[in-house]
Chains A and B, each alone.
Chain A
Amino acid sequence: MANLTLTNSDLDAISPRLVLDKGTRPTGYKEITEDVVGIVEVKTPKAWWIAFGLSLLVTGMLFGMLAYQVMTGVGVWGNNSPIGWAWDITNFVFWIGIGHAGTLISAILFLFRQKWRTSINRAAEAMTLFAVACAGIYPVFHVGRVWRAYWLFPIPNTDINMWQNFRSPLLWDVFAISTYGTVSALFWYVGLIPDLATVRDRATGLRAKIYGALSLGWRGSAVHWNNYEMAYMLLAGLSTPLVLSVHTIVSFDFAVSVLPGWHTTIFPPYFVAGAVFSGFAMVMTLLVIFRKCFDLEHLVTIKHFENMNKIMLTTGTIVGYAYGTEFFIAWYSGNPYEKFTFINRAFGPYWWAYWTMISCNVISPQFFWFKKLRTNIPFMFVISIFINIGMWFERFVIIVTSLHRDFLPSSWGYFRPTYVDICTFIGTFGLFMTLFLLFVRFVPMIAISEVKGVVAADKHRHLPEEVEKLLVERRDEIMKVRV
């Protein structure tokens, strides 16, 4: 019986380990700590300062533009009548959508016991937080009088002596987005506590005190882990419906109206799939860069990227299917306004936006059917950028093409962004990058304790006896396939 046991390298041939050996050095617990915490401990690299300076500059432009808009009025944007929602809400939905991949990776994949998520969830959750921060700017500034934005919340007040209208999806949005932001932040911080303790125990002086305070005295006790794992599982269970509800409610902002092109029941699932699609594209874009910069190729492996590409392929195909369904229903419903809107989208004055959306979102992910392309890093990087662009255009198409020509030709118009629109949008990327750079500098960008759990599971993995027997019998065959 003894010779039936397979070695780890035999098992690797069947299902590769998620954490790969780094050169000849084995990847043990200590090495993982070194590799991840090392990034936070070294002297700040020059490249980081350059990148940080640039993003700060762009963020400065964002704040300049926002200040100008507050002082002058919403008129500095290209919004007009009938296009009262233009780039502001496009950008809002775009950024919120980006955020969804983070929650999906940390919550839904956790509940499905997808161990591969552990190497990428920390960075993806951070991305969620920063994307929600960027998204929040738009609706708040869109109200015009930003200093009255607190009127959105049901706070007893003496200014207006009235309450919010809870029958409006726009108010549901306020609750959905603020809940989403809060829960994402809590989830992220809970995940961080054990890793902050790891940084604390390696640091000295002031750093040890700061990380010590942040880690709340975590000492990895079995009692701690017991409650911690329960809390983490419950948070994942809560975030899973939450992430679906957020984009569903965002889609209600449109679907509950009567405007042709918006008033459709397909919106909630279609928006959620689109959000996951765009979010994964952004995680891809960021991780391709950061794992290279910080030498983390053994922790964020090609297998992670391949899995992400598969998710993009799935959600991208759902999105493409939704485009087709929209067109079909526009025709099949027999509603002339609906039909006009869709023909106008494809061949009207905004045809260029529509076809950019189609080519980026429908065609790009289809390449991932092929394993060669799915595992080719430069290729997937380019595709992820295309998807980011395409998903921005999707929101633009939905919002602007529906608004610009509604029921009556007397209320038709055309939207052109002003430089304030453009610079504000570019500025949010600056804010996003600034926050992300601060994150990679001061916080372990990979969930150390979770990756160690995966390594432990890899170390002690075994197959059911009959499977193992079969594999030993057909060992030569399997090894041949591997070569």
Chain B
Amino acid sequence: MSLIDLEAIRRIFDPHAPKQLWGVVAEFEDEQALLKAGEAIHHKHGYTKLDAMTPFPVHGIEAAIGIPRSILGYLVICVGLTGTMTAILLQWWTGAVDYPLVIAGKPLFAFEFAMPIMFELSVLFSAFCCVFGMLALNGLPKLYHPTMNFSRFGRATDDGFLLVVERSDPKFSAVETRQLLMNLGATSAEIVED
């Protein structure tokens, strides 16, 4: 998952570039059908390169198709603590080292008065990490993705529940995988090219 997919960009600008098989996208009736199919294809049939596309977060789908828990929390705590340290250093260095000035007899640096800004900068840094970390982990922004070639891709953000099997899966076979998805209750399944 690279941020800049040169191959994808080349294909956008070169319409004659040879297309290649990318995977299969199947559509399901509702979130329950999707969950059931995802569970079966991952745990029973052993597929691993799976993804789903849904208009809202369907809870349980990560476990069903084997997506690990997000590591974002660990990133955020590290960056948040960096914010705390930044605030301490900022207030100590500017007030007690670079420009010491006694105001109303207060100490040049003390944790008591430094607290509000320590808190605010921790929150600010963490929030930036939350948003940009989430985008980075998701590989966004990425305006083109092969699954967008699915003829009814628009339903993924409206009322469709799609299951994606990538070609890179060791068990993948265009015809059989498609048939398997149909057997698992898909209303339609399509081979998608990139």
Contact = CB atoms under 8 A, between A and B. Distances in A.
A401 interface: no
Contacts of B164: 221
Contacts, number: 189
Interface stretch (B10-18, B59-67, B173-181, B185-193): B59-67
21 contacts: A30-B158, A162-B101, A176-B116, A182-B124, A182-B127, A194-B157, A198-B158, A216-B143, A221-B147, A221-B164, A222-B52, A223-B138, A226-B62, A226-B67, A234-B76, A234-B130, A235-B130, A238-B127, A245-B119, A449-B55, A449-B56
Across the A-B interface, give the 5 residue pairs with the lowest CB-CB distance, nearest first: A231-B134, A29-B159, A216-B141, A163-B94, A201-B154
Interface in B92-143: 94-95, 98-99, 101, 103-104, 106, 113-114, 116-117, 119-121, 123-124, 126-128, 130-131, 133-135, 137-138, 140-143
Given A164-B94, A186-B131, A176 B156 contact: no
A456 B31 contact: yes
- Among A198, A222, A242, A456, the one with the most B-chain Cβ atoms within 10 Å of its Cβ is A222
B134 A219 contact: no
A261 interface: no
A225 B69 contact: no
Interface string A220-251: 11111111111100110011011001000100
A172 B69 contact: no
Contact of B158 (A190, A201, A222): A201
Interface string A190-205: 1000100110111000
Contacts of A221: 51-53, 138, 147, 164
A241 B118 CA distance: 13
B172 interface: no
A452 B58 CA distance: 10
B130 A231 contact: yes
A204 B193 CA distance: 23
Given A183-B127, A197-B157, A222 B67 contact: yes
Contacts of B62: 222, 226
A165 interface: yes
A242 B154 contact: no
Contacts of B143: 212-213, 216-217
By size class, the interface of chain A is 35 or more
A211 to B, nearest CB: 11
A227 B144 CA distance: 19
Contacts of B44: none
Contact of B144 (A197, A217, A449): A217
A450 interface: yes
A231 B133 contact: yes
A175 interface: yes
Given A229-B57, A230-B134, 15 more contacts: A28-B159, A163-B94, A165-B95, A167-B106, A179-B120, A217-B145, A218-B140, A220-B55, A220-B157, A221-B51, A222-B65, A225-B57, A231-B131, A234-B76, A242-B123
Interface in A57-94: none
A348 interface: no
B55 A198 contact: yes
Interface of B: 31-32, 51-58, 61-62, 65, 67, 69-70, 72-73, 76, 90-91, 94-95, 98-99, 101, 103-104, 106, 113-114, 116-117, 119-121, 123-124, 126-128, 130-131, 133-135, 137-138, 140-145, 147-148, 153-154, 156-159, 164
A429 interface: no
A227 B70 contact: yes
Q: Specify the main secondary structure of chain A where it touches its partner.
A: helix
Contacts of A449: 55-57
A172 B124 contact: no
Nearest to A234: B130
A167 B103 contact: yes
Contacts of B90: 154, 166
Contacts of A217: 140-145
B51 A222 contact: yes
Contacts of B142: 216-217
B73 to A, nearest CB: 6
A456 B101 CA distance: 61
B181 to A, nearest CB: 16
Contacts of B133: 231
A190 B137 CA distance: 14
B54 A225 contact: yes
Contacts of B94: 154, 163-164, 166
A62 to B, nearest CB: 28
Contacts of B55: 29, 33, 194, 198, 220, 448-449, 452
A113 B188 CA distance: 35
Contact of B56 (A154, A227, A456): A456
Contacts of A172: 116-117, 120
Given A216-B135, A219-B147, A228 B120 contact: no
Contacts of B126: 234, 238
Contacts of B134: 190, 227-228, 230-231
A252 B115 CA distance: 13
B33 to A, nearest CB: 13
